[in-house]
């Protein structure tokens, strides 16, 4: 008879999430390069994430509340850093312009060289969005799609918005709603950080983590953060909703187990089925784990590691059926977060590989980078003691023929030296180090969340 499950305490250093950048860097810093950076790797890596937990005497309570910090690491990997307004989750291109995102209706155009905030766009004014996900989809032709909430004919609905690519003109002014669906709970619309897109469908995963509209209104009046407006419904199934890209109407709905997710890895159609891969948790405790007090006390909390115990799962739905129950399949028994794929060629398409950082905080090497083969379930990891990588971004080799022919780039911070940062370059095939550039910053360097790589146009 098996004994009780042993609870393991976190093996990671909480300090990497609790640092506050105290000094703005205006001029690029010279770093030390080891290895050989591929000559074809030319561009700019932009990173976004929490930069400061303190503003004067006030201290933020949750990582998602803290002030944004933008990082730039150019082709020679000389980063500049600056503080911006609080769009602190991600960065995405709209045509030739770059915008910093959070989940509120306001996005900020930034100068990708100086990182200055150039313009503030209020999407409520342009397309009546109350909020939107931090992860829009950028299509091969330059069109951008995002999922948000809006009031349509007096009722709140989840809406899909298209920002059509324009060589000249304002993509935000040209935005249009191209699809919508009614929330399962009218006063508690589902919280959505990402969504999926395939050849024929928008894919909306309606989880039991919801936004209480009543609390949101009260909290806005009291200047409280979004996280305090969230409500989790225990033992409620998760719904997967397909909205037709041609008609904009909900056409199919499936059910699966109770789960919480932040990131969809990829969605695709294949042989009459639709597949949704996502980083799934049994509940929403992972958000509780992001409170500053919880991070500070993680080494004394025997449950903390379980709060982050997510697994990448696959939902496989038969497109000939509807309203059926889907049993998720674990792709690999490793915690994975902030997943990335060969986006340009495989977003919304059949794919084999994704890359991620470890979400298992109680393993021997909690700061691991992971490559997962979704077909075989095999995984390759990269790690270094006292090192904590950011989300890995895949950059394909020019004229690459294979899905994983390219490199991964990831920003590194270190637990034993809070002013040391590095830009790591890995071979995406075997996860071996090709090169890195290391820098010493004048003030602490916090861990970042999401980013985007802009290749040089020359």
The model's pTM: 0.89
Percent of the chain with pLDDT over 70: 85
- What would the pLDDT profile of 114-145 be if each residue is shown by its tens digit? 778 888 888 888 888 888 888 999 999 999 99
* SS3 at position 433: strand
pLDDT at residue 74, as a whole number: 41
Q: Taking a C-beta distance cutoff of 8 angstroms, is the pair 136, 145 a contact?
A: yes
**Amino acid 318: pLDDT:** 97
Place of tokens 């002014």: 173
How many Å from the N-terminal Cα to the C-terminal Cα in the chain? 65
Which 8-state DSSP code applies to residue 374? Answer: T
| The predicted structure's pLDDT at residue 213 | 87
Per-residue confidence (pLDDT) for residue 240, from 0 to 100 = 98
Q: Which residue has the higher pLDDT, 76 or 120?
A: 120
pLDDT of residue 299: 84
Does residue 444 have a pLDDT over 80? no
Buried b (16+ CB within 10 A) or exposed e, 176-214: ebbbbbebbbeebbbbbbbbbbbeebbbbbbbbbbbbbe
pLDDT score at 64: 58
Contact 411, 73 (CB under 8 A): yes
Least confident of 47-51, 292-296, 300-304: 47-51
Q: Note the pLDDT tens digit of each residue in 48-67.
A: 655 555 555 455 565 555 44
**What pLDDT shows up at residue 116?**
82
Whether residue 417 is predicted with pLDDT greater than 50 in this model: the reply is: yes
Residue 17 has pLDDT above 90, yes or no: no
- The residue-averaged pLDDT of 72-86 equals 36
Query: What local confidence, expressed as pLDDT, does residue 26 receive?
Result: 57
In this prediction, residues 21-47 reach a mean pLDDT of 79
Compare 440 and 264 and report the one with higher pLDDT: 264
Residue 1 above 60 pLDDT? no
Q: Over 80: is that where the pLDDT of 87 sits?
A: no
CB 271 within 8 A of CB 346: no
Q: What is the pLDDT of residue 347?
A: 97
Q: Please say if the pLDDT value at position 72 is more than 60.
A: no
Asked if 237 and 256 touch (Cβ cutoff 8 Å), the reply is: yes
Provide the pLDDT for residue 18.
64
Q: How confident is the model at residue 259 (pLDDT cuts 50, 70, 90)?
A: very high
Q: SS3 helix, strand, coil % of the chain, rounded to 5? A: 10, 45, 45
Confidence category of residue 84, pLDDT binned at 50, 70, 90: very low
pLDDT of residue 348: 97
Burial class (CB in 10 A: 0-12, 13-18, 19+), 357: buried
Mean pLDDT of 170-197: 94
Dist. CA 107–CA 75, nearest whole Å: 26
Q: How confident is the model at residue 47 (pLDDT cuts 50, 70, 90)?
A: low
CA-CA distance, 280 to 273, in Å (whole number)?
20
For the segment 289-303, the average pLDDT, to the nearest whole number, is 84
Top-confidence range, 5-14, 311-320, 438-447: 311-320
Q: Where are the alpha helices (DSSP H) in 259-411?
A: 285-288, 292-296, 304-307, 343-346
pLDDT of amino acid 54: 54
- How many other C-beta atoms lie within 10 A of the C-beta of residue 6? 6
């Amino acid at each position: 008879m098996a004994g009780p499950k042993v609870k393991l305490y976190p093996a990671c250093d909480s300090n990497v999430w609790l640092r506050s950048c105290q000094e703005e860097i205006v001029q690029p810093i010279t770093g030390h390069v080891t290895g050989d950076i591929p000559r074809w790797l030319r561009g700019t890596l932009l990173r976004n994430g929490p930069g400061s937990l303190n503003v004067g005497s006030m201290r933020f309570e949750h990582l998602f509340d803290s002030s944004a910090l933008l990082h730039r690491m150019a082709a020679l990997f000389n980063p500049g850093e600056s503080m911006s307004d609080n769009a602190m989750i991600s960065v995405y291109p709209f045509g030739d312009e770059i915008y910093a995102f959070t989940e509120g209706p306001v996005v900020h155009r930034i100068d990708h060289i100086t990182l200055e905030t150039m313009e503030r766009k209020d999407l409520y004014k342009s397309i009546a969005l109350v909020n939107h996900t931090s992860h829009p989809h950028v299509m091969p032709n330059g069109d951008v799609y995002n999922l948000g909430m809006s009031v349509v004919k007096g009722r709140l609905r989840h809406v899909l918005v298209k920002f059509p690519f324009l060589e000249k003109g304002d993509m935000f002014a040209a935005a249009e709603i191209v699809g919508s669906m009614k929330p399962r709970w009218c006063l508690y619309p589902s919280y959505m950080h990402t969504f999926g897109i395939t050849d024929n469908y928008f894919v909306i995963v309606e989880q039991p983590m919801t936004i209480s509209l009543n609390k949101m209104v009260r909290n806005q009046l009291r200047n409280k953060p979004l996280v305090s407006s969230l409500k989790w419904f225990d033992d409620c199934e998760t719904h997967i909703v397909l909205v037709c890209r041609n008609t904009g109407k909900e056409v199919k709905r499936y059910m699966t187990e109770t789960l919480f997710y932040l990131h969809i890895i990829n969605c695709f159609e294949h042989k009459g089925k639709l597949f949704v891969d996502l980083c799934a948790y049994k509940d929403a405790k992972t958000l509780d784990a992001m409170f500053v007090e919880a991070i500070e006390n993680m080494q004394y909390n025997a449950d903390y590691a379980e709060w982050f115990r997510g697994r990448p799962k696959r939902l496989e739905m038969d497109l000939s059926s509807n309203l059926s129950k889907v049993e998720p399949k674990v792709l690999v028994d490793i915690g994975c977060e902030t997943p990335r794929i060969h986006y340009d060629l495989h977003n919304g398409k059949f794919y084999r590989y994704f890359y991620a950082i470890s979400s298992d905080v109680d393993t021997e090497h909690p700061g691991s980078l992971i490559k997962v083969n979704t077909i075989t379930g095999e995984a390759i990891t990269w790690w270094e003691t006292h090192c904590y990588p950011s989300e890995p971004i895949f950059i394909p080799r020019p004229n690459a023929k294979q899905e994983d022919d390219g490199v991964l780039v990831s920003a590194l911070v270190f637990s034993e030296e809070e002013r040391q940062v590095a830009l790591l370059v890995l071979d995406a095939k075997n996860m071996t180090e090709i090169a890195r550039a290391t820098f010493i910053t004048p003030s602490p360097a916090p861990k970042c969340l999401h980013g985007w790589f802009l290749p040089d146009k020359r």
